[in-house]
Structure formats: structure tokens, C-alpha cells
Amino acid sequence: MSTTCQNLFDDPPSSFVGVLKDGFTIVREHWKPLIIILLLQIVSLMGVSIVLGIFMAVAFSQVFTDITSAVSNMQPSNMGNGRHLVEYMVGSGTTRVLDNMDGGGNDNQNFYDIMIEYGPQIVVLIVIAMISLSSVMCTFVGAMAHTAAEAYSGDTPEACKSIRFGWSHKLQIYIFQIITLFVLFVVMVCSILVGIASNNGFVCFLIMLAVLAFIIFFGTVMVAVVPAIIVEGKSSIDAIRRSYDLCQGEFWFIFCTNFCIQLSLIVLLIAIHTILKILPDVIAILVNLGINILVSVMSPMVPFVIYMSIRIRNENYTRDDLCQELPGTAPIAKATGLGDYKRVGAYKRAAEVV
């Protein structure tokens, strides 16, 4: 382990500058496994997307054919005006003329019938795609967090080990994401219904402020859920409770840290894109690629550093405690202490013999 990572427990950050410093320290010292995890994430998402595309093309080919046919029939014909005139002249009736000029009511009805007929299959298709892609994302989110945990523990992170660990905890991370989406969906639907019922612009404005405040509060106190799942082995529900207990007393620290980081990132991106406009396209593409990689690697580090900072400052959390909680990590400090104990015992026995 590098000397820099050994100091992560010595001075836990209490500002966004310290959080960024520790996050960059982990990325700088262990960039290889992080880059490998990121590349494997991209490749996995592409592979899953290709497999899903082939599966959808084979299993739902008839659905796509019928929908495409219905949509094409809904397009207006180039001979539409002539058709309306001829039908009118042959006495087809006012009703038929109006129907044709309306864009084809039968075509619309056919499209709706197809959607109703294949609706359950389309829903199944969407659910399968969401679960597959979310499983991949949850696995690598957990892998990134595990890499940061091993950096704190003093062990050398390994990409394959972290990915296996993320895979074993993907279900709990996925359940947490489902709960988050459900809560936000309920809040948004309720706020919209209340705003419509009130029919008052000022009340709608207050509701928007309340929803924004709730989203900020929820996102702030839930920042430690994934680290709690990875480090402490909590279930999704227990991790939500654990994150709330940890973060409610550190709300302003977490909020200000996230706000300052996001604001700094926006300002930095604007400045970089302004500079890149005067540079060759090749350089601009490479710089943008590097920025995207850095942001993708740093994003999981920030919540973990915040989580560790709160525990170190408020719970007197040590590296030995982390090694005990994190499976598969050797407690280095305790091993050293055991060696010292054995050496002292050997000296005592030698003195007794003399």
C-alpha cells in the first residue's frame, strides 16, 4: 500500500476540498483496477445491449412488423387530395370524405388494437431490458465501492475481486434503486395531482419548491447506502436506515460538498469546452474522453469518501474495524501486533532459559 493511502485515516476530510483530495488520492494510487472496472462495465453494457437486441428481434419480430405496418399506414398519402375529391364526386358520402380527410380513423384504430394486443409483451420486453442493464450497472457500482474500501483498508485492489464482490451484492443495490425510483415517482405524482387540484399558480410554485427540497434531502441522507451495503454487508432496507442515521447529523457537510463539487465541475467543463473550441478536433476528442473517464471513476469515490469521513470522525472508526467488516481483507495492523506479541513471548522464554 502506498504511503499516501495510509494517511486516509489520519486526517478525515470535513470539507469538499478534503473529499476531492482523498478521492483523487485513491484514483491516483489505484487507477489501474478502476480503469479496468470502467472498461469492463462499458463492454458488458454493450454486450448485454447486443444480446437483448438479438433476442428482441427474434422473439418479437411479429410485434415490430405489425407496429411498423400500422405506423406506415398512418402516414398521409401523396394522392390524398385527389382521393378525397374523387370519393366526393362519386357520391361516397360526407362521412367517408371527412373520415379520409381526418387522416384515416381505421389506421389509428388498427394501431391502438396492435398496442393493446401486444401490450403485455412490450411490457415484458421493457422489464427484461431494465433488469438486465440495471444488474450490470449495480454490479460495477458495487465493484467501484469495493475498490475504494480496499484502498482504505490497506489491501491492494484487484479488479476481478471487486467485480465478484459487486456481483454478490448487486441485488441489494438494485432493490435500493427500485425503492428510490418508487419514492420519487410517488412524490412527483402526488405533487402533480395536488397542483392540478389546487388550480393556483402560487400553490404550484410552493409544491415545486417542496418537491425540490425533498429530492435534495433524500439524495443527501441516502449517500451512504451503497458503502453500507458493501462494507457492512447491510441489506437494502438496513442500509437505508444506516445511511439516514449516519448522514442526518452531517446534512450540511454532505450537501455543501456535493453542491460545491457539482458547481466546480460545471464551471470547469464550461472553461474546458471554451478552450477546446480553438484546438484541433483530435485533441478536443481526446480531452473530452479523458474528462469523461475521470468523472466516471471519481463519481463513486465521492460518496465513499464522505461515508468513511463520517465514520472516522463520529465513530472513531479505524482501519482494523474496516478490515474486520470487509470480507476477504487481511487486518494488517492486527497481524503486525500479533507478530510483535510473538516476538515478546520468544524474548521472555529465552530470558527464562538463561
Does the pLDDT at position 194 exceed 50? yes
pLDDT at residue 281, as a whole number: 86
Does the pLDDT at position 35 exceed 90? yes
Condensed to tens digits (0 to 9), the pLDDT of residues 157-168 reads 999 999 999 999
Between CA 175 and CA 302 the distance in angstroms is 22
- Cα–Cα distance list, 257 to 16, 204, 267, 336 (Å): 4, 30, 15, 36
Between CA 289 and CA 282 the distance in angstroms is 11
**Secondary structure, 3-state, the chain:** CCHHHHHHHCCCCCCHHHHHHHHHHHHHHCHHHHHHHHHHHHHHHHHHHHHHHHHHHHHCHHHHHHHHHHHHHCCCCCCHHHHHHHHHHCCCCHHHHHHHHCCCHHHHHHHHHHHHHHHHHHHHHHHHHHHHHHHHHHHHHHHHHHHHHHHHHCCCCCHHHHHHHHHHCHHHHHHHHHHHHHHHHHHHHHHHHHHHHHCCHHHHHHHHHHHHHHHHHHHHHCCCHHHHHHHHCCCHHHHHHHHHHHHHHHHHHHHHHHHHHHHHHHHHHHHHHHHHCCCCHHHHHHHHHHHHHHHHHHHHHHHHHHHHHHHHHHHCCCHHHHHHHCCCCCCHHHHHHHHHHHHHHHHHHHHHHC
Condensed to tens digits (0 to 9), the pLDDT of residues 140-190 reads 999 999 999 999 998 889 999 999 999 999 999 999 999 999 999 999 999
pLDDT at residue 99, as a whole number: 47
> Which of 124-128, 265-269, 334-338 is most confident?
265-269
Per the model's pLDDT, the better-predicted residue between 99 and 110 turns out to be 110
The mean per-residue pLDDT over the stretch 19-27 comes to 93
pLDDT at residue 197, as a whole number: 87
Out of 66-75, 112-121, 202-211, which region has the weakest mean confidence (pLDDT)? 66-75
Model confidence band, residue 111 (pLDDT cutoffs 50, 70, 90): low
Between CA 270 and CA 248 the distance in angstroms is 33
Does the pLDDT at position 46 exceed 50? yes
Between CA 239 and CA 225 the distance in angstroms is 5
The mean per-residue pLDDT over the stretch 298-320 comes to 94
Q: Report the percentage of the chain scoring pLDDT > 90.
A: 53
pLDDT at residue 81, as a whole number: 47
Which set of grid coordinates corresponds to residue 322?
474496516
pLDDT at residue 134, as a whole number: 86
pLDDT at residue 195, as a whole number: 86
Tell me how crowded residue 256 is: count the other CB atoms within 10 A of its CB: 13
Tell me how crowded residue 67 is: count the other CB atoms within 10 A of its CB: 16
Q: Is-contact 243 222, C-beta < 8 A?
A: yes
Condensed to tens digits (0 to 9), the pLDDT of residues 195-222 reads 888 888 888 899 999 999 999 999 999 9
The mean per-residue pLDDT over the stretch 274-284 comes to 88
Residues 6+ apart with CB under 8 A from 204: 195, 198
The mean per-residue pLDDT over the stretch 90-96 comes to 48
The mean per-residue pLDDT over the stretch 19-47 comes to 93
Does the pLDDT at position 136 exceed 70? yes
Q: Is-contact 144 162, C-beta < 8 A?
A: yes
Mean model confidence pLDDT for the chain: 81
Tell me how crowded residue 162 is: count the other CB atoms within 10 A of its CB: 26
Which set of grid coordinates corresponds to residue 28?
491516483
Tell me how crowded residue 96 is: count the other CB atoms within 10 A of its CB: 13
Q: Report the percentage of the chain scoring pLDDT > 70.
A: 74
pLDDT at residue 112, as a whole number: 67
The mean per-residue pLDDT over the stretch 41-67 comes to 81
Phi, psi of 19 (to 5 degrees): -65, -45
